[in-house]
Copies of this chain bind each other. A is one copy, B any other.
Amino acid sequence: MEPIIVKYVEKPELHDPVLIEGLPGVGNVGKIAAEYLRDKLNAKLMVEIYSKYLPPQVLMKGDGTLYLVRNELWYYRDESGNRDLIILVGDYQGMSSEGQYELSYRVLEIAKEFGVKRIMTLGGYGTGKLADTPRVFGAATNLEIVEEMKEYGVYFSETEPSGGIVGAAGLLLGLGMELFDMQGVCLMGETSGYFSDPRSAYFVLKIVKEYFRLDMDMEDLEFQSNEISELTTQFKEEEKKEAKKEDLGYIG
């Protein structure tokens, strides 16, 4: 069996396309953002990727039928003349170090075929804390992009993320710059990392929208984001009350 099997559903001509990645990861921030993007832009499926580097698993569609776990590339043709997008989503990332490298490399090979020179990877930055307003951290392949992204409110830190970036969000950029002459940035939404975090995804996607000047409805994600905000606020108030009670307890 070929370690990675690529099925082309369509081979569109694309205009200076940017590869946007959002695979499962910390807080599923990248996955939520990229799948929302795909859905709202009515992107079209172009490539399916099956691989022994993914888990040996099928998933249920909900109607009694199943499908093999996969990664997919979807394309969005921008009618207003901006750059087109290729969106990478999937059920899993590669399950081993080798699998991570092989899958990212293969995606870059495909991206190159379609003329990709620029990459934007989306992910979460797990802090273990509930942030009031999640910042979006950045890490870029060169200083020009650092400066460019700062203008969109992306936060570049001297020390964070201290452990670097593990997985596809980092590897696509690392392999891309060293071996494919591509440049790009990773946007990481601050998240506790304890649950799937649409609020963090919302803040990440707002930057994506603004950067690519996309005409995209953000309402649904904003709604989910607000729900998380309320839960966070409630949770923090509970914590404060709890803390007060304990204080009183000591006094009484």
Contacts and interface: CB of A to CB of B under 8 A. Distances in A.
B170 A63 contact: no
Contact of A170 (B58, B65, B94, B141): B58
Given A53-B97, A102-B1, A65 B165 contact: no
A80 interface: no
Given A56-B104, A57-B164, A94-B56, A170 B64 contact: no
Contact of A64 (B52, B94, B143): B143
A177 B95 CA distance: 23
Majority secondary structure, A binding face? mixed
A171 interface: yes
Interface in A159-196: 159-162, 164-168, 170-171, 173-175, 177-179, 186
B50 A178 contact: yes
Nearest to A175: B68
A48 to B, nearest CB: 8
A56 B158 contact: no
A250 interface: no
Nearest to A96: B97
Contacts of A171: 56-58, 68
Interface string A49-74: 01111111111101111111100000
